[in-house]
Structure 1
């Protein structure tokens, strides 16, 4: 019976008696060449079967590793006739090659977060994994590059070395990398194509005639359209795919044919073929169900990963051995040496994580990194794992500091009012006493003159009486001036701490405010070129004249301090629009830089501390402007001058129309630095 079966097979399939082509393959995944349930399939396998059909020769698939196949191709006694490999474009291997079958390419792959690689020069100095014998390796033999090659047996070995940071870059072929990337989510494509290649059939030179026949058959398949059909089947959808159903149908047809042939003498084969059919259908149904389940799991996994990756804060899971189990790639700061606690103490991530896992208690602390602030949270999630959350809170820290600063300034204002009251009492006594001394010296002068006539050698404090009285008079003036200066500083402090006095406001003219301030500062202004431009009629606002006098006096004095006498020009003018009125004070003095401009209204900030400045003038002005619902715009350029412009709401009275300034009164100001203050 056994001999009868063999005879029937030889009669039915005469091709089995012909010389068989042994096709060596090494890949185990779609779409190129792979095996499922013992059935070899894929683009290369099906293409070689089509070539065998044209050559009327059977094809036998033999599976070996890539390195074994390359060794066989160089062995004249090898049982392998043909293999499919990739060769770089414009470079042929030492072995015999067919026409190109299908194009591919290789590019660089790195860990997430690494720099993009634009060309070969970006690989200089790096450790690059290259698969031994692959087309990338063949290309680099004649194209030496300025990097260190790390030879690996498989591309997957290169990816594993990349994860453990034994290499910096992997140069991998496109089809294999697409298959491996889902298994290694932390690896990403980091370049465009660096090497272009093409799949070809390769054989030992002794099989040159066979390869010539394969080339002729390959060209016929391309002309007939069969090659395009295979390409569209395996690559047309742009993804890896396979068709087990068609394979099972072919197996079923073959089983039926064999069953019919052997039915003459073997009824047993019928039951075997039926069993095979039922088993195939069951496998197809099971495979379909598994594919649906895997698709749902992948979809849920991708959604969960997308949600976690979308979180803007760093999230990392560690085990007790400080191995990173998962991260959304926002954890680079955790291992930075400059990350520290806000109190200045160093931070040790490993110690903190192990303490949280051991104690089962969460750890929350504020951290600092350069000029940024972060909140660190470590929570236990299992007996051996903890999740680390890192959230930036620089803005919250700045707001907290600003609130603390405002509280200190408020306390300083309350304290300054009490200090001012205590200082005013002795200052008043000094001023009153000095006035008494001045009057007494005037009355004593005639008596001193008469006594000197009687006693020419009389001395006062070791000085001639006239010189002594002049020195006493000068000292009295100095003491009185110093006491008044103390009084002015105290009044500034009191003004800074005073509550809102808007209830005392009334209609006032800005021209009168300027004229009063000019008269009060006439002694200082006489050393400068002063120009006054007043809008007519005088713009009216609702306010306190005395407070506005104080603001104008302060701005005029500041302009005098910043402007050199003689060549200094100070322009003071009033202006109005349909809804607003204002005053501007402009000088051509030393100006201010950006850093000074930002702080001019801070209490006690002054650039004239050595000349007796208290730093309260513009602070008080800012408070007064706030009470008058006005605002101040400051423009300044170093070594060119400054311009202070005060703007208020215009008060329009019946029968009085405040007209805007004419073109002749307007003056353009060009400044590099400016600050607009809304008290």
Structure 2
């Protein structure tokens, strides 16, 4: 039991001893690099406190090779020299001017360098220290140059600066005459300050050395061995290329701060602008997205509305009583509403009157680019066919059963004729009564003459002279009867033709003079009470038209002229002739004339100014339709109190 207690106590003592000795062990494994400058590319401290540079990397390599923990201690040059001289495991890198002897251990030389003077472009060179006499010279404090001048003062004014960059700033502004600095530090300054130049040959040559205390010979030997190996294995060259290679030198801390601030400012501005642009673009995109959504909604609604209207439109087209077809330019059927599908069958159309060649009509519509309209008869029905060009590649064909419309038109024409006959009836009756009375009188005369002739024959009165006289009187009576019967026959024939319904238009060559003569016979009872002046061109060419319809037109014009001349010395002038290659017929009266309102409505159906006298308002409206069918031009000139001129222009057959 006592043995166990003794062993336990021994272990405690050993543990306590190890605990107190442990810091010394750690202290012996620590290597310190003393840095005294803040000059790239050798040694400088970043804004975050991180140490960088050639010297730092070399010290880290040495510590790694010797298995030391590296500690970096920033001091002044004097403190650095004192620490390295008096303490072990202390390292530093300094530039030793040529000819200077330091009482300190130095490892192999690291880098050669030199010290030169720098001034402004265009100024005199300074190749020696004597050339700087009396000049203001900027020198970095605690640098190798300052150390050299402490031992060997020169005859010029030293302007101490914290960094070489500050010295070159003073040089550029004219506050100093020269800057004296080490080569590696000055090369970058020349690119930053274009006004500066090298003032001449180097003033002083120096060498960078790794220095340490000689109090620990083993440590010194180990350091020299590591540095020597770095030369042999190429690591030292890699380190030089990384930090000190020409064109890759690090800028000084002041420039780093300045450039970093500028870059940070520019970056902040760009970031702010980018943020503003992003916000603006986001706003525009959001607005555009909203607009596009609304537009898509509107389009969707429009498409639905178009679809609905299209369905309704097709429903309307399908429900139309007319046949509707859409035909392409190559005469292929695009769409049909199903009414009268035989319209596209050429064998059926060949039986129509007149015969229809649908292919030719389609070709003509596309070629001439105007609509085609025609009427035809098929299977005892009247049809109306229309072709209308919709686009360069499509036309619409419409087929309508026009039988009812045609019959209504015929009934309307018949009504107009009957209305005209009603107005002519009184005059026609008078015209027939006159020859009938003459016939009656002539028959009585002939009967008396025959009785007298019979009496003479029975009494054997054979006077030749008297017999001849009786026979002459009988012959005159017969001629009167024959003439009166002829007049009645002509009147009846004209009435028969005038009242005959027109089943269809049959254009043929018509002489307008014959139309005038027939119309005058029908309206003789109206015309006989006025002064008639006929001016008919005997060489008048024929026109193409329907003679019966043109007779109706002229009868209406003559009747209206006669009704308008309720005044003393009425005058009716009817003239035919040629004007500008057109054939015309003109009816002029010196009646009451018409005002503007009457002229505007004269062609309207059922419009009349003689409603109380039995006028129907169908005469001139029917005449207008007939003249439209004949493609005639109807000109009306009228003045109240002076009279009216009705002029109709036709194209000749030629």
Q: Is TM (by shorter chain) over 0.5? A: no
